[in-house]
Structure 1
Amino acid sequence: MKKILAQIKQYKKDTILTPFYAMLEVVMEVLLPYITAKIIDEGIEKSDMKAVALFGGAMLAAAIVSLLAGMMSGVHGARASTGFACNLREEIYRKIQTFSFANIDKFSTAGLVTRMTTDVTNIQNAFQMCIRIAVRAPFMLISSLIMSFIVSPKMSSLFLIALLFLAIALGSVVAFAMKTFSAAFQKYDELNAKVQENVSAIRVVKAYVREDYEKDKFRKASGNLYNMFVKAESIVALNNPFMMLVSYSAIIAISWFGAHMVVGGSLTTGELTSLFSYIFSAFISLMILSFIFVMISMSTASIKRISEVLDEEPDLSDKADTIKEMKDGSIDFEHVDFAYFKGENKEVLHDIDLHIKSGETIGIIGPTGSGKTSLVNLISRLYDVTSGSVKVGGVDVRDYDMEFLRDNVSVVLQKNVLFSGSIIENLRWGNENATEEECIEACKSACADEFIERMPDKYNSHIERGGANVSGGQKQRLCIARALMKSPKVLILDDSTSAVDTATDAKIKQAFAERIPGTTKIIIAQRISSVEKADRILVIEEGRITGIGTHEELLKTSETYADIYSSQACGGGDFDRPENAQGKAVSTGKEGE
């Protein structure tokens, strides 16, 4: 809670002024019935127009002050709550940026989106209600009770009994409603997840003609949310009947006894009139308080969810004295074990002992789920090893400044994306100060210049969000070019040419050999043709290196590698791959990693 309230920051003044003006507004409102009673008793009944004018002027002044105080309370309240929400969203976003992959794995994307939108909005509304309405309502309630006792202690006793009865009734309603609202709020994640999944995969949905199925899924998620809120609102709706029953009963009782007291001379007409005003004010304030409790209940669930994000400590962090110098691109895995979830005996890498020279090209191949991606993720320290160490340039990656390390170990991930903007803006993610000539050179190395030059605006051509307006192969080549913009000492291609034909794939590898000979290159692939010319090829199975050597060596020494090669060679091959001796072309053998 402290971390959330700390986001008030520069809006502390507005946060203090809002309840101040709210209380000033209440004081003026409470005085109005009292002044009205004086006008009736001292002016109208005694036919004293001077008293009427005097108290009438006081009433006008109190009304104007109340109006201005209410306006100022609203302005400062809106400024404080919106500013608070803005700061809170920025803090959540900043916190997420510090998360490692392991931290992000704990939260679903839909859950994080809900926290930054619906949850923050709930907290914003509750915050504004707390600094304004939650101050105004109880202050009005207490002030109305005090003024009613000042007017007539005997009549106020009836009023107090009715008020206590109403408080118990509304409290019971709120208690039931709070549980239902808390359960309903959890349905937002499910709804957001359905929307995000459908929109991001809309092409697949249409390709398989599954629109009706997706509509049914969304309707079910939306229906669950609808049913929960209807149930909660139905419970809250009981507030109004309870209030009407109790308040009108109290008015009837006070009217009956008050009339007798007026006739008996122990209560004036003006005092009875003011009592009615205070009764309505107190009852309405109590009802508003019941709604405040519901809102606070809803925001409590949001506070817990946001606190989970703000309290999450990044798994990876820099040491006090980090290294910002890398002598070369050599890589050493020294008896590395790795598991995604600490404390669980589910290691995905076992005793990896591997040494790669600077400038060497390494191919990695193996069955789906064998740990290929997990292995390279350790090099750029996207995760930390469970045991052992990973060294780049002779230095443990945990000793490097993470930003410096990732600038020198460039990774083209399996699911790399492009961002909305021009091609050159996307390329400058790799180097924000790069010239257009440097961008063109990187694109030539990635064989991306071929299709860019055919686009109407060339390097200024617009890219839709996620690269929706370019093909899979074009997207991969642009991502490779973006990685090259860093001029890294280590370049990792994680199955990042899978959508590229073998001829273009060969051109990219040739360009790497000619233009970045000193860069260590690690290429994960599913097709042998992508790695067969590498200096060495690793075969990984079930988290272990079961084979290492050149293409020719592995054909003799690794049964797994020979089987993969044989299955791909007999599979018909890529359409543009030259036929082999048996008249068969080498297949891509593309499978998901």
Structure 2
Amino acid sequence: MIKLFRLLQPYRLQVAVILLLIFLQSFAELFLPTLMSDIVDIGVVKGDIPYILKIGAFMLLVAAAGALCSVGASFLSAKSTAGFGKILRSKVFSRVESFSLHEVDKIGTASLITRTTNDITQVQQVLTMMLRMMVMAPMMCIGGIVMAVTKDAKLSLVFVVVIPILVGAIFLVVRKGIPLFRIMQGKLDKLNLVVREGLIGIRVIRSFNRLDYEKKRFTEANSGVTDTAIKVNKIMAALMPTMMLVMNVSIIAIVWFGAIRIDNGHMQVGDLMAFIQYAMQILFSLIMVSMMFVMIPRAQASAVRINEVLEMEPDITDSADVKEVGRSHGLIEFKDVVFNYPGAEKPALSGISFTAKPGEVTAIIGGTGSGKTTLISLIPRFYDIDSGSLLVDGVDVREMAQDALRQKIGFVSQKAVLFTGTIADNIRYGKKAATDEEVWHAASIAQASGFIAEMKDGYDSMIAQGGTNLSGGQKQRLSIARALVRKADVYVFDDSFSALDFKTDALLRRALRTETADSTVMIVAQRVSTVMDADQIIVLDEGKIAGIGTHKELMSSCEVYQEIVSSQLSEEEIA
């Protein structure tokens, strides 16, 4: 957690002011019992009314000054910790954005969401309390002990017995609580995962009538968090009654022995009253520390999880010797590429060698699990290859800046992903500065202008989260328009026509031919009708190239391609 607190650097002046204000507040609160003692021992005993009024007025001023310091410290600590939370969230989000797909899969999306929200909130809350209590409590405790000793050293021996008991109780509770807090944060991840899957997959859940099963999953995850929270809170709940019991017994002991010392003439009544207040301040400062230690274990567990994200080094980073590549045509060359997923028994791709040229359409087809999506995911460097080389315009992608590489590519993923906002905003996601004409043109080429015109607000129509108010084909066409508006050197379509009817598919491919005439186009498809007009078809089978050529060439030379064609087309269509 100390590592994270370094992010308070921009607020170091405010923190210094907070410490000063808390010191002044503590000084004011420690000074008040002494003033009250003087009022009793001098003003009340001697009946000196002017003295009582004078010291009483001074007490009011001291109390008001202490209150102002408290308000100022609270305001500045809230402001500092809010800024700290903002910086920390930004750092975590930026780090996650730099992760490759491998790191995201390793930690898990649900866990990353929990770490960016709940975990940071836990640390932020503790920091707020630390700036106030962790500074104030030692001052009050040490100052109270000093002031109590000055009032009566022998009576202060009560603290020799009381303080070790309280410290021991705090230590035992914290020791048992820390492991449980770590477990609870892990169970929160699980709960987040179940809720996220339940909301995203609500249509599938309802269509298969699995609501009861999902409720059961949620109940189990929810009960896991609840049971752990109850267990840890039972342990923490034992702390406060113990503290209060010890405190009350201490007050009784102070009054008992103080009365004896007053009776023997070793102490005055005002001093005993002040001593009791100092004892209360000492014990309450220890209670404040105990409250901190109730929260610190959970925050510490959260801090460990946050640091795990911040300290995780991305597998894919820009080379120290980045090669600058100017805007060119988008020539793609695979040279004996081998790629293996972490932990897999055999490579997902091996011996991949081909060239995709500008002005040509290169199609990739193959059975399920043959490596089609994996292959094109290597082009924008979502994963790094294990051996061989992948060149874009003659430069290995590992030697290019990731921003520069991806700026050359218009990528349409297998799953059409849209964002909350208008249709125009989603298309402009591909090119922030795109004009209205460019947006309309891209939508027209993607065969999306027709259904957009039928919507109430046209291009200003709002898209729901995840594009749930659009059909699968509409989402695909908007995703394609988003890629086309970039006017990229390379276009990659990962099974992006699967939800389109044959007529729209044909119209779209015909329009793409003209629009992408100078660019390299790569299409992954399941349908033979989508790829048969391509300049080059690559047939994948179990991660290897089974054949390369045109439709006609493959029909006479590639058995795997022949099987795919015969399974989809009739004999008349094949002929």
- TM-score (normalizing by structure 2): 0.96
* Secondary structure, aligned partner of 2:491: strand
Give the structure 1 partner of residue 377 of structure 2. 377
CA shift, 1:302, in A, is 1.1
In structure 2, the residue matched to 1:581 is 572
Q: Which residue of 1 aligns with 2:298?
A: 298
Superposed displacement of residue 346, structure 1? 4.0
Tell me if structure 1 keeps the 8 A contact 2:177–2:297: no
CA distance in 1, matches of 2:251, 2:202: 61
- Aligned match of 1:51: 51
| Residue of structure 2 in register with 1:591 after alignment | none
Which secondary structure does the structure 1 equivalent of 2:270 belong to? helix
Q: Deviations over 1:279-327 (max 9, x none)?
A: 2221121122122122121111111111112112232233444313143
Distance of 1:455 and 1:248 partners within structure 2: 72
Give the aligned partner of residue 472 of structure 2: 472
Give 1:544's aligned residue. Answer: 544
Match of 1:573 in 2: none
- TM-score (structure 1 length as normaliser): 0.93
Contact 2:446 2:478 in 1 (8 A): yes
Unaligned 5+ segments in structure 2 are none
Tell me, yes or no, if structure 1 residue 132 matches structure 2 residue 132: yes
- In the other structure, the counterpart of 2:355 is 355
Question: How far apart, in 2, do the equivalents of 1:488 and 1:182 lie?
Answer: 47
Distance 2:181 2:25 in 1: 32
Q: Is this contact kept in 2: 1:194–1:218, CA < 8 A?
A: yes
Moved more, 297-306 or 561-570: 561-570
User: For 1:94 and 1:166, how far apart are their aligned partners in 2?
Assistant: 43
Over 3 Å counting, the alpha-carbon distance change for 1:230 and 1:136 in structure 2 is: same
Q: Do the aligned partners of residues 157 and 178 (structure 1) sit closer, same or farther apart at CA in structure 2, a change above 3 Å counting? A: same
- 2:325 is the counterpart of 1:328: no
**Correspondence 1:255 to 2:246:** no
Match of 2:281 in 1: 281
Residues 183-202 of structure 1 mapped to structure 2, 5 A cutoff: 183-202=183-202
User: 1:129 is aligned with what amino acid?
Assistant: M
**1:30-64 residue CA offsets vs partner (Å, 9 max, x unmatched):** 11111111111111011122321232122112111
Contact persistence 1:337–1:352 (CA under 8 A): yes
Deviates more, 1:80-89 or 1:374-383: 374-383
1:149: which partner in 2? 149
Query: What secondary structure does 2:424 align onto?
Result: helix
Offset of 1:85 from its aligned partner? 0.5
1:75 corresponds in structure 2 to 75
Q: Within 2, Cα distance between the matches of 1:171 and 1:399? A: 54
1:183 deviates by 1.8
Query: Which of 1 and 2 has higher RCO (CA within 8 Å, sep 6+)?
Result: 2
Work out whether residues 324 and 401 of structure 1, in 8 Å CA contact, stay in contact via their aligned partners in 2.
Answer: no
- The residue type equivalent to 1:328 in the other structure is H
Partner SS for 1:45: helix
CA distance in 1 between partners of 2:367 and 2:359 (Å): 26
Is 1:95 the counterpart of 2:102? The answer is no
User: Are the equivalent residues in 1 in contact too, given 2:318–2:401 (CA < 8 A)?
Assistant: yes
- For these two proteins, the number of residue pairs brought into alignment is 574
Query: Secondary structure in 2 aligned to 1:153?
Result: coil
Q: Does 1:337 align with 2:338?
A: yes
Whole-angstrom distance in 2 between the partners of 1:397 and 1:185: 39
Deviation string, structure 1 residues 421-448 (Cα, Å, up to 9, x no partner)? 2211111112222222222221222111
Q: Does the 8 Å contact 1:239/1:287 carry over to 2? A: no
Which structure 2 residues correspond to residues 423-502 of structure 1 after superposition, within 5 A?
423-502=423-502
Q: 1:240-289 CA distances to partner (integer Å, 9 max, x unpaired)?
A: 22123222222222222211110110011111111111122211211221
Structure 1 CA distance for aligned equivalents of residues 94 and 163 of structure 2: 48
Between 1:251-260 and 1:135-144, the stretch displaced more is: 251-260
User: Residue 321 and residue 552 in structure 1: after superposition, are their counterparts in 2 closer, same or farther (change >3 A)?
Assistant: closer
CA distance in 1, matches of 2:259, 2:346: 82
**Residue 109, structure 1, aligned to residue 109, structure 2:** yes
Distance 1:389 1:3, change over 3 A: farther
Deviation at 1:459, TM superposition (A): 1.9
CA RMSD of aligned residues (A): 1.9
Task: Give the residue type in structure 1 aligned to 2:339.
Answer: F
Deviation at 1:345, TM superposition (A): 6.0
Letter of the 2:522 counterpart: I
Q: How far apart, in 2, do the equivalents of 1:127 and 1:17 lie?
A: 16
Is 1:314 paired with 2:294? no
* C-alpha distance in structure 1 between counterparts of 2:480 and 2:432, whole Å: 16
CA distance in 1, matches of 2:165, 2:10: 43
- 1:337–1:386 CA contact under 8 A, matched in 2: yes
